Structures are given as structure tokens and as C-alpha cells.
């Protein structure tokens, strides 16, 4: 046999090297959550934005009593802060630049048996001996899980923000142990629907039909965490508290279906989080106070202390922030979406920006 011709066939780029164009997510934007986020994000801006970066939507009348003005906290320029309309839990990113892949992803979104996956997530909890009401006290209050400072994830999943963001070195979050949220009693407003256009794609006529026999989940966004570390933070996020304990497993199972189809190729573990600020959006982020030696990242330990009421640093700061800090509560998880990368301007009041959905499946009536 003669030698093979070299260079005859061009090698295709590795799937992992392809730039993601879309992501699968649980949306967190409802009329009620947006109003809550508007207030909590205003507080966050009031504390963390440089004084010369304050914008018109941060008014003392909205955030209540004046919070601490420590310059060591004012590390996040206006461009880093994310508006309410962008909030979501990402399950995974996909490259849908090929029309066939987009059609396959949209079809899969509608065909998944969400009720079966939900039941599987519940069964998995039971098999591990974890009751579904693990986070509930007899009084009905929701208790946040105890965590320690410096918790790290080796390959975190931070997607749906900027596709060129590499945050694989771990995450840090600090919360107080035995922190208790009051009972969630407010009525739920139906999620506001984003209008799909023919320019996005042709949605299945069954896109709005919910799955049967699936119980609704509700989440509370609380506390503050950072990626990749507290000493060198780029992403600031809110954590989910969900009283049944099912959401994490449910999200992992949905993600696995997309992975089995070769649409999601990430191997990083799923870390459910809602981004409240990301320094990747700040131009010239490698320059300025506290940034030159960290590639644009900042030392967020004092900010974490304040919003998580951790250590003696928080007690010395004059603040009216509640413990734990609540970004929004009673958010229904009742649908899943495929959205385009890159937030766009939104004309819905108070949303600011949004990730445009190309497909949606409502799985709770």
C-alpha cells in the first residue's frame, strides 16, 4: 500500500472550539420579579458603582436610606451591571449556526418529556434520602443551606453572558449559616411573554402547551457570589433557593438530553446562578483602580462581606441591607427557552435588555 496523500482532506474544527450562538435556560423574568429586581439592583448599584458612574435610575428615593459610601466597595462601573430583563438560569450553550442544528434543537425543546424528567429528579432525591421539603421548617419558612466561604467549583458553567468569558477556575460565595427567609406568601403574577417574530424562527404550534402533571417550582434569588474567586472576581451572581430541592437535578437532566443529542458539548458541572454584574462588559477593564494586576477583575471580599453579612467587616459597615440579601422571591420556574447570545435592547418597561428567545416550552399550566 502506497503512502496516504497528506493534506487531501481538511480537518474540521473541534466542536468545543466553535463559538456558541444560543443557550438553553430557565427564564427568571416576570412582571413581579422585574419590579423586585429593579429595587434590589438599585441598592447594589448604590453601593458598588463609582460615584462618577451613577446613572439616573439609581435614586436614593428608590433604595431607601443611604447605604455605605466606602470607596473600597465602588468597584463596578455602570456597564458591568445587568438589567432585570437579562435574568435567567443557563443550562448550557450551543452552536446553532447551522440551520439543521437549530431545527433539531427547537424540535428537541418541544419533544422532551419534562414531567418524566421532573419525576426522575424527585426520585433521585428520594434515593439519596433527601426529602423534597428539606428546606422547609414546620412553620413554613424557607431555610437557606449552610455554606462556607471559599466554596469552589472546578469548571463552573457560566454561560449566556459573553461567549468569550473563561471562568473555569472556580467560584466563591459566602453566606451566613442558619439564615432563614420568611414565608413566601405573595401571589404569583403570570410571566410576561416575549413576542416571537418570524425573523427568529418558526415556532412549533404546540410551544405554549404545558406538560401534564408537573408541579410548579418557585425560587428565591438571594445572597451574592463571585466567579472565579472572591479575591479576583469578574462575575457577581445571585444564588437560587428552591424549597423542594428538585430544581438542580431537573436542570441537569434537561441539560443531559441536549448533551446526548450533541447540541450541548460542555463538560463543566452545572452551577445555577443569576448574573447581577459582569466586568467583561466594561471597556478598558484592565485599567483603573484595583484592576491593573488582575486582568480586569476586582477584589470583591468586602462587597461579599456586606451583602452576605459575613465576618466582622459587615458589622462595621453602616447598611440597611437585610440578611440574607434578597434579590427577588416567588419566581415561578414554569418554562424553558432557547435564547440567542448577546443581550439586546428591550422596549418592555424596566427590562432594559433581554436575550431574544427563538423557542419556548411551557411545562407547567
Q: Quick check: 226 and 173 in contact, CB under 8 A?
A: yes
Residue 17: pLDDT band with limits 50, 70, 90: low
Specify the higher pLDDT residue, 328 or 215.
328
Question: If 0-12 CB within 10 Å is exposed, 13-18 middle and 19+ buried, where does residue 40 land?
Answer: buried
**What is the reported pLDDT for 294?**
64
Rounded to whole angstroms, the Cα distance separating 232 from 218 reads 32
Q: What sign for the dihedral angle of Cα 335, 225, 286, 19?
A: negative
Q: Is residue 6 part of a domain?
A: no
Least confident of 35-39, 190-194, 296-300, 322-326: 190-194
The highest-confidence range among 176-180, 240-244, 351-355, by mean pLDDT, is 351-355
Which stretches of the chain are DSSP H helices?
Answer: 31-48, 60-63, 99-111, 114-127, 247-260, 301-308, 311-316
Q: How many residues does the chain have?
A: 365
The pair phi, psi for residue 327, each rounded to 5°, is -85, -45
Is the model's pLDDT at 57 over the cut of 70?
no
Q: Is residue 298 part of a domain?
A: yes
Angle at 280 between CA 274 and CA 281, to 5 degrees: 90
Cis peptide before 324 (omega within 30 of 0): yes
Q: Is residue 213 part of a domain?
A: yes
Specify the higher pLDDT residue, 91 or 202.
91
Q: Is residue 5 part of a domain?
A: no
Q: Is residue 17 part of a domain?
A: no
Give per-residue pLDDT as tens, 165-223.
Answer: 443 334 444 433 333 233 233 333 333 334 333 334 334 433 445 555 577 799 999 99
Rounded to whole angstroms, the Cα distance separating 355 from 86 reads 6
The residue behind cell 503512502 is 3
**What is the reported pLDDT for 288?**
42
All cell numbers assigned to 196: 416571537
Average pLDDT value for the chain: 75
Specify the higher pLDDT residue, 5 or 260.
260
- Report how many domains make up the chain: 1
Residue 74: pLDDT band with limits 50, 70, 90: very high
Is the model's pLDDT at 317 over the cut of 90?
no
Least confident of 62-71, 191-200, 299-308, 335-344: 191-200
CATH code for position 66: 3.90.1140.10
Compute CA distances 4 → 9, 12, 13, 165, whole Å: 11, 19, 21, 40
Structure-derived torsion over alpha carbons of residues 217, 223, 226, 232, reported in degrees to the nearest 10: 180
Specify the higher pLDDT residue, 6 or 97.
97
Q: Is residue 44 part of a domain?
A: yes
Nearest to 241 by CA among 145, 171, 172, 151: 145
| DSSP classification of residue 234 | E
Residue 285: pLDDT band with limits 50, 70, 90: low
How far from the centroid of its chain's Cα atoms is residue 242's Cα?
14
**What is the reported pLDDT for 130?**
66
Residue 126: pLDDT band with limits 50, 70, 90: confident
Rounded to whole angstroms, the Cα distance separating 94 from 265 reads 7
Range of the domain at 239: 28-137+153-362
How far from the centroid of its chain's Cα atoms is residue 257's Cα?
20
Q: Is residue 50 part of a domain?
A: yes
Q: Quick check: 215 and 364 in contact, CB under 8 A?
A: yes
Q: Is residue 10 part of a domain?
A: no
Question: If 0-12 CB within 10 Å is exposed, 13-18 middle and 19+ buried, where does residue 251 land?
Answer: buried
Exposure class string for 144-182: b at 16+ Cβ within 10 A, else e: beebeeeeebeebbbbbbbeebebeebbbbbbbeebebe
Amino acid at each position: 500500500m502506497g503512502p496516504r496523500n497528506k493534506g487531501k482532506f481538511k480537518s474540521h474544527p473541534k466542536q468545543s472550539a466553535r463559538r456558541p450562538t444560543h443557550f438553553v435556560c430557565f427564564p427568571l423574568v416576570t412582571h413581579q420579579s422585574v419590579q423586585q429586581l429593579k429595587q434590589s439592583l438599585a441598592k447594589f448599584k448604590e453601593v458598588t458603582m463609582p460615584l462618577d458612574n451613577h446613572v439616573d435610575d439609581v435614586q436614593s428615593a428608590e433604595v431607601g436610606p443611604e447605604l455605605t459610601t466606602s470607596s473600597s466597595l465602588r468597584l463596578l462601573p455602570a456597564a458591568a451591571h445587568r438589567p432585570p430583563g437579562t435574568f435567567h438560569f443557563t443550562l448550557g450553550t450551543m452552536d446553532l449556526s447551522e440551520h439543521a442544528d437549530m431545527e433539531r434543537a427547537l424540535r428537541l425543546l418541544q419533544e422532551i418529556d419534562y414531567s418524566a424528567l421532573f419525576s426522575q429528579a424527585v426520585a433521585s432525591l428520594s434515593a439519596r434520602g433527601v426529602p423534597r421539603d428539606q428546606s422547609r421548617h414546620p412553620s413554613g419558612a424557607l431555610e437557606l443551606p449552610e455554606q462556607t466561604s471559599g466554596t469552589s467549583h472546578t469548571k463552573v458553567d457560566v454561560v449566556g453572558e459573553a461567549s468569550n468569558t473563561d471562568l473555569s477556575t472556580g467560584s466563591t460565595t459566602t453566606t451566613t449559616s442558619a439564615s432563614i427567609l420568611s414565608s413566601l406568601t405573595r401571589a404569583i403574577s403570570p410571566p410576561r411573554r416575549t413576542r416571537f417574530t418570524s425573523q427568529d424562527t418558526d415556532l412549533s404550534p404546540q410551544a405554549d402547551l404545558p406538560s401534564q402533571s408537573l408541579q410548579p417550582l418557585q425560587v428565591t434569588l438571594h445572597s451574592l457570589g463571585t466567579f472565579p474567586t472572591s479575591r479576583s472576581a469578574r462575575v457577581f451572581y445571585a444564588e437560587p433557593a428552591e424549597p423542594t430541592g428538585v430544581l438542580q437535578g431537573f436542570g441537569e437532566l434537561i441539560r443531559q438530553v441536549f448533551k446526548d443529542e450533541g447540541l450541548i458539548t460542555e463538560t463543566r458541572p452545572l452551577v445555577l446562578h443569576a448574573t447581577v454584574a459582569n466586568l467583561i462588559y466594561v471597556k478598558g477593564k484592565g485599567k483603573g483602580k484595583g484592576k491593573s494586576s488582575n486582568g480586569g477583575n476586582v477584589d470583591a471580599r468586602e462587597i461579599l462581606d456586606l451583602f452576605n453579612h459575613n465576618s466582622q467587616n459587615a458589622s462595621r459597615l453602616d447598611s440597611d441591607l437585610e440578611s440574607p440579601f434578597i434579590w427577588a422571591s416567588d419566581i415561578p420556574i414554569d418554562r424553558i427557552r432557547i435564547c440567542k447570545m448577546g443581550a439586546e435592547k428591550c422596549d418592555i418597561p424596566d427590562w432594559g435588555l433581554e436575550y431574544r428567545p427563538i423557542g419556548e416550552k411551557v411545562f407547567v399550566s
